[in-house]
Structure 1
């Protein structure tokens, strides 16, 4: 049985322990989990699990119900909350991607908490030209004195800080970036890339069409999640960065398509 850290992964008060992150993703995938079930799964006491889930409920990720916990809301989670899920995996992925981006590159970057982590990991680079439709990413990039950061005009989506829709698509179509970096909400069993909104897919596909090297960043839980808007296939990209190996069927499709796969977590050691 895998062991899990009991302390937060960073000093950030919103950051979750690894076990809390796994609990949140499990409930996100299934909709409900019982306290006894979770205690058995993680080989800890029910008291320990209650402490974990109480912390998740305090952060607004989950809601206590009789016998267990369920999602606090239906659909996608608030951006601030998504940032703390799979925190360690996102940092490992971000560091590996940053190592592949040369100074002076032009980089188109999609919405998402993992792409945001990549930008933070690139702040020691010089003379990057960043194009993004996410204000969080833009503001992080703007802290690097030598970066040029461009964003589209349009309506800002509340909570996420995104600009999506036709303006974002036209924005990415106006560049030819050295690298396109994007995430997805989920990956279907057949390798289809899934998101929650058609506009998210359209912007992501515009980045893919207008970059010389496409990079998909995702943690392994994306292979276990679901979203309902299809757009593209995982084998369409040039490079996949993930914290664990993809499921066998998807791994075979990636190998057949010649997609480079980099495993950034402990499995890579």
Structure 2
């Protein structure tokens, strides 16, 4: 089993059970306890879980939205500004959760468009804009990251037919796979892709490869990636080989 696959399953177990043990995981995957310890240490270093005494681990709350917002802010602002140029009057736009997508919403103010979102941060940016038609998807509020998730969100997305969706991401792997760190966000992103004629990914240079461990989709589902010049050139070439447009910010 690949390391990334095993670590993804460790996170799934955490989300289901709240905690895991080294011995239990070693038995489950048929590997040594030292291998599991390395996995847990790696996931802990990425902020995806918290180590506890005795070799166990529990999933922490996600890094607060306000903290993520200040990371690589100048790069995110460039990406958001460039992405806004891809939106035309009359478009129906799905905007994902995330700090870069919230900046995108700021650049869309005053446009004759419809915005559909489950991001509370995007709602805050556009709630007082009389020009934009704002449609809010329902769901369970994930307070720490200013978003709504769950079956209600996914069901609402199934009724939408959007011109384009703009996705945030935790990372893009060297093979072009789009990733996320939170299991409950993955089906929402996948529903956005299914409901949109085009899929744009907003990824500043730090997202190559980023910290995502859960696969959202392959490059075949992506129309374009908006990024800046520090992005990994090898990954960008892989994206282009899959007919993904790379839009420079």
TM-score (norm 2): 0.72
Partner residue, 1:115: 101
* 1:140 CA displacement: 1.2
Contiguous gaps of at least 5 residues in structure 1: 1-27, 33-72, 265-269
Structure 1 residue runs of 4 or more that deviate by more than 3 Å after TM superposition: 28-32, 73-76
Partner residue, 1:209: 194
User: Over the residues paired in the alignment, what is the CA RMSD in angstroms?
Assistant: 2.3
SS in 2 for 1:199: coil
- Asked if the contact 1:142/1:149 (under 8 Å) is kept, the reply is yes
Partner residue, 2:53: none
Q: Deviations over 1:14-50 (max 9, x none)?
A: xxxxxxxxxxxxxx99949xxxxxxxxxxxxxxxxxx
Partner residue, 2:56: none
Worse-matched range after superposition: 185-194 or 85-94:
185-194
* 2:152 paired residue among 149, 153, 167: 167
Distance 1:199 1:230 in 2: 12
- Asked if the contact 1:245/1:251 (under 8 Å) is kept, the reply is no
Partner residue, 2:66: 80
* 2:205 paired residue among 220, 223, 226: 220
TM-score (norm 1): 0.67
Matched, 1:239 2:233: no
What is the number of equivalent residue pairs in this alignment?
196
Distance 1:259 1:245, change over 3 A: farther
* 1:163 CA displacement: 0.9
Matched, 1:196 2:175: no
Distance 1:119 1:181, change over 3 A: same
Matched, 1:102 2:92: no
Q: Deviations over 1:153-212 (max 9, x none)?
A: 232112212111111111111111011111111122322221122221111111111111
Contiguous gaps of at least 5 residues in structure 2: 1-41, 47-58
* 1:147 CA displacement: 1.2
* 1:261 paired residue among 235, 240, 246: 246
- Asked if the contact 1:205/1:232 (under 8 Å) is kept, the reply is yes
- Asked if the contact 1:29/1:225 (under 8 Å) is kept, the reply is no
